Amino acid sequence: SGARRYVASIGVLRREATPAGAVLVCEEALRVDDDGRISPGPAAPSLRARLGPQAFSRLGPGMSAGVGEGSAT
């Protein structure tokens, strides 16, 4: 007791083909900054495509204005 846990980031898994076979790659989609704000990561477009723009915009300010628009990876 006394230890606190919180979500520091959310990632999106994708499968990538390599000469050795398929591997799973986890890319950060959202991260919680030191001040508690949520910032988009490189995989934000993929997460937005899966959640939908309306749900994604509920994550906070700056999450709806073009973040994740375009093709999903």
- In SS3 terms, 9-71 reads as EEEEEEEEEECCEEEEEEEEEEEECCCCCEEECCCHHHHHHHHCHHHHHCCCCCCCCCCCCCC
Q: What is the pLDDT of residue 16?
A: 93
What is the percent of the chain with per-residue pLDDT over 90, rounded to a whole number? 34
Mean pLDDT computed over 6-14: 91
Q: What is the pLDDT of residue 61?
A: 67
Mean pLDDT computed over 1-17: 87
**Prediction pTM value:** 0.68
